[in-house]
Structure 1
């Protein structure tokens, strides 16, 4: 007997292709919220209903409803933003949101604090800027991420272009988005359908990432579908295909876990799109629609088996995947400062702490990027590590760009420690409804403390991957941090250690449910040993594994024979 479908499946089935009663809820002036069912559907349109958790208790005492607002997320394949789009997005942040722009770990922007009556005009303005929010959230293929700066060869540019093609080709086709947000006319007498997704879409979200070795700056093995570009003699030969990555888990539930994607083969460029589409379709048909905690592709693979999944995929494709090609990754961080591209253009990577562009004191980051957008003749590239690249700069424009960067305090990366340059944090409190502990607001404080410990041992310049997540769902990819904190409750975290520096090994729990003093006490002797016993060029995570501080991980790994 099959298990009953989840409540979310009922909502999708009855939604009339994601319409629900969202339009009616937006017009209701009595409340700043929309219904729970519509709130679930709203995710497909790129928005989450939230409230300010810092104000909950006080508003409850005053017998007021929560301080509802909406987070809105753009769909920006590969994280590319034109200067004109940037200026629109900046204006929306100041006029409709909370005065900040936030770069996410999926290479796009989020706006926070949008009240209900401003949600529709904000989405319309994003559309007018030739962008969209459709499918930035929800049970669909989300924003397709890619190594953000195709600077090295023409083949890099060709690989990068696939992010846009996959994003466009795998997007939902429902007219609901245009009807609700853009005042489009409703279809009359024509049956609507979703050729790929069907009436109930996917069982859960689906993430695609494309990496170009030797940089794994998208954490390609954290994706449901990871694509590893194989470039030989300057030509794009195709892509290794990896399936089943995912970072989410639930505390206390061992049936949920992070998983690295498994490489199952190679496809040439002309077969990439049909392969990606078929993988999505198999997950659509095989994924768990009864228990959402087990609905990601990683659980489908572990339940059905990788071999069975691959056989089903090849049967649908009508051809076999080729053997995977050799590849090598050496790190998954961003390369700061100026880099010259193959075509003589320059690219400047700036570090944005936690991805939050705001004007705070002398640090005028939001204003600084606005001023850059006014004069920049190239484009901007957002990264999966929450940073921004001022891309495609002519040599004669570099001095002007540098002056704006210095004036607005955007050049801090030059002085940052190794661990600060590689730190990533999710939003967490006060707006994320899933957050159990602080992340973004805690990161600067924690870094100050950890930097003191590292400095005492001469390790200030040592590159260390630090990730903080306010809950175990893993938006900041904490399970791939050499040091990671995963929120348990206010001020308490699981301390996880010993991922590698290239995103190919999961970390492990080292201490559970600890406060700040306990986790710092745990790190201090490890830094002492690392400073004294590390090998030449040995990263912190590898050192912890080699010396037995943590045992070899038994999680799913990339097959050793595939790595050159």
Structure 2
């Protein structure tokens, strides 16, 4: 390829396997910042340098440096942690971060507000409970999601095992992480070559981030179509795993005003037997490593490589790299993307409690739920696990009979049982302001109040119990997967959003742009007549997203640039 490589490619090549000058930058006590190049490299270590944007103006007036700090993301395949690990996370959040924990759409934790001088202490605390942050960000395979509760069935356990195995197999091998953050010692050995240090990735890793998920139908709680690589469990008549349908080419990010960028749902590539699943994961990743666009990062995700090369070419190449041709996909069906809340009975007399965490933020609310304290106290007596979900909720999993009544009492004592409405428990937001440097509008801090107004609207029309998926992001990168929401909001500017409608309730169809650059009043004015129409003309069991397409408010979206084809708000069909 004669085109000039993207700047990050040269940076990775010269980084000495992700070391850069991070050690020197961390040692510099004069500033809370690190160099621009190191800000890119530190992502591979699971961190982003951010600043408190609410304080920018004041600090600028005082001629002060921005209030820099790290967002730190933990690598937790399948979202499973022990009570001891939960307590360590809680301690990091209180001692080194901003006093809260943030559950993400990737079944893991984020810490916000960790200043540079505390970063090593936070990472070492994670290491003490056998957790790490490597590959939670960066141009590598990131945290692998799986269907939320392995104790639900043997298939769910197999999904978790596959997610864990993929995460371990595709983990970067460089010693830079431990050298910089844990013990400061360079691992002794022979000459550092790509074949020795990074046998899968090579010296320049991947063209862009790479996200992998594992699903067990009929639940699509991991939103499998939103990701670069996916595995869908195919079961026999007894519920055992026959194999996996492999999906490729999903991704949510785009750029406002650039029609060459767009969200895309994944294609089902084919079927593999269980013994070939791990090889399939490596084959898809290395195909992207070799085929992906390294000249233009806006065109570097798997979704664009699939669009450019075609599904048939991908199928043939992946089969070639596995050593076994992919079989035709097996039939399956998804019914929804949400979590099941409350208590459920599990195997061996143990139980599981799924708690609603609004937008994933675990904190104590004055006069309200004491979520952080309550979960900390539960962790002190719990002898099972905690499981994060990709809907930003938490499952207190594998609760023993002797502990269930104690935990039930704690749930009441600390106000952990939410009476959230149907629309609120299906709502999700990214962090956005004040910490995310990409945010154009509020998201986590604003969505709850907008949902309150939507609750009032649907209740007026007798739809209070209707499950409608609502998601919001502060920018078009799509971290909360708004393009797969029945009602999606994407930040365009302060207090202004693009409104999307019509993504499938089960996550298999994208939404369509309905209104551009609108404020809250315009959003509510636009949705009121549609909700009114829905209350009068919906058919039994018809989801809101299917209704708005049937009635002509938006057209069904297909993959590719067609996502941007918008005919404007439509009148209801006759």
Where 1:311 maps in the other structure, the secondary structure is: helix
Write the mapping of 1:158-557 to structure 2, written as runs, cut at 5 A. 158-188=158-188, 190-192=190-192, 193-232=197-236, 233-362=238-367, 363-412=369-418, 415-555=419-559
Check conservation: 2:253, 2:478, Cα contact below 8 A. yes
Matched residue pairs, number?
555
Where 2:94 maps in the other structure, the secondary structure is: helix
- Give the whole-Å Cα distance in 2 for the aligned partners of 1:161 and 1:259: 27
- Give the whole-Å Cα distance in 1 for the aligned partners of 2:559 and 2:303: 12
Check conservation: 1:154, 1:342, Cα contact below 8 A. no
- Give the whole-Å Cα distance in 2 for the aligned partners of 1:71 and 1:554: 35
- Give the whole-Å Cα distance in 1 for the aligned partners of 2:531 and 2:484: 19
Give 5+ residue unaligned stretches, structure 1.
558-564
- Give the whole-Å Cα distance in 1 for the aligned partners of 2:412 and 2:542: 34
Please report how far the alpha carbon of residue 189 of structure 1 lies from its aligned counterpart in structure 2 after TM superposition: 5.6
- Give the whole-Å Cα distance in 2 for the aligned partners of 1:185 and 1:420: 48
Check conservation: 2:307, 2:560, Cα contact below 8 A. no
For residues 78-97 of structure 1, give each alpha carbon's deviation from its aligned partner in whole angstroms, at most 9, with x where no partner exists.
Answer: 00010000001101100000
* 1:560 paired residue number: none
Please report how far the alpha carbon of residue 398 of structure 1 lies from its aligned counterpart in structure 2 after TM superposition: 1.7
* 1:155 paired residue number: 155
Please report how far the alpha carbon of residue 444 of structure 1 lies from its aligned counterpart in structure 2 after TM superposition: 1.2
- Give the whole-Å Cα distance in 2 for the aligned partners of 1:163 and 1:66: 39
Where 1:449 maps in the other structure, the secondary structure is: helix
CA shift in 2, pair 1:517/1:555, >3 Å: same
Check conservation: 1:12, 1:18, Cα contact below 8 A. yes
* 2:572 paired residue number: none
Where 1:343 maps in the other structure, the secondary structure is: helix
Please report how far the alpha carbon of residue 556 of structure 1 lies from its aligned counterpart in structure 2 after TM superposition: 6.5
* 1:108 paired residue number: 108
- Give the whole-Å Cα distance in 1 for the aligned partners of 2:18 and 2:483: 33
Check conservation: 1:137, 1:205, Cα contact below 8 A. yes
- Give the whole-Å Cα distance in 2 for the aligned partners of 1:24 and 1:184: 12
- Give the whole-Å Cα distance in 2 for the aligned partners of 1:153 and 1:547: 39
Q: Does 1:125 align with 2:125?
A: yes
- Give the whole-Å Cα distance in 2 for the aligned partners of 1:370 and 1:219: 29
- Give the whole-Å Cα distance in 2 for the aligned partners of 1:189 and 1:137: 27
Please report how far the alpha carbon of residue 150 of structure 1 lies from its aligned counterpart in structure 2 after TM superposition: 2.3
Please report how far the alpha carbon of residue 188 of structure 1 lies from its aligned counterpart in structure 2 after TM superposition: 4.6
What is the CA RMSD across the aligned residues, in angstroms?
1.2
For residues 326-345 of structure 1, give each alpha carbon's deviation from its aligned partner in whole angstroms, at most 9, with x where no partner exists.
Answer: 10110100000011124332
Check conservation: 2:502, 2:556, Cα contact below 8 A. no
Check conservation: 1:481, 1:500, Cα contact below 8 A. yes
Please give the TM-score of this superposition, normalised by the length of structure 1.
0.97
- Give the whole-Å Cα distance in 2 for the aligned partners of 1:117 and 1:190: 33
CA shift in 2, pair 1:132/1:189, >3 Å: closer
- Give the whole-Å Cα distance in 2 for the aligned partners of 1:180 and 1:83: 27
Please give the TM-score of this superposition, normalised by the length of structure 2.
0.95
Give 5+ residue unaligned stretches, structure 2.
562-574
Please report how far the alpha carbon of residue 105 of structure 1 lies from its aligned counterpart in structure 2 after TM superposition: 0.3
Check conservation: 1:159, 1:236, Cα contact below 8 A. no
Please report how far the alpha carbon of residue 59 of structure 1 lies from its aligned counterpart in structure 2 after TM superposition: 0.7
For residues 7-44 of structure 1, give each alpha carbon's deviation from its aligned partner in whole angstroms, at most 9, with x where no partner exists.
Answer: 11111000000000001100001101100100100000
For residues 101-141 of structure 1, give each alpha carbon's deviation from its aligned partner in whole angstroms, at most 9, with x where no partner exists.
Answer: 00000000000000000001110110111111000000000
- Give the whole-Å Cα distance in 1 for the aligned partners of 2:373 and 2:4: 52
Please report how far the alpha carbon of residue 231 of structure 1 lies from its aligned counterpart in structure 2 after TM superposition: 1.5
Question: Which range moved further: 156-165 or 250-259?
Answer: 156-165
- Give the whole-Å Cα distance in 1 for the aligned partners of 2:321 and 2:154: 32
- Give the whole-Å Cα distance in 2 for the aligned partners of 1:342 and 1:370: 25
Q: Does 1:64 align with 2:57?
A: no
CA shift in 2, pair 1:165/1:188, >3 Å: closer
Please report how far the alpha carbon of residue 153 of structure 1 lies from its aligned counterpart in structure 2 after TM superposition: 2.4
Check conservation: 1:480, 1:503, Cα contact below 8 A. yes
- Give the whole-Å Cα distance in 1 for the aligned partners of 2:296 and 2:305: 12
Please report how far the alpha carbon of residue 184 of structure 1 lies from its aligned counterpart in structure 2 after TM superposition: 4.3
CA shift in 2, pair 1:263/1:530, >3 Å: same
* 1:562 paired residue number: none
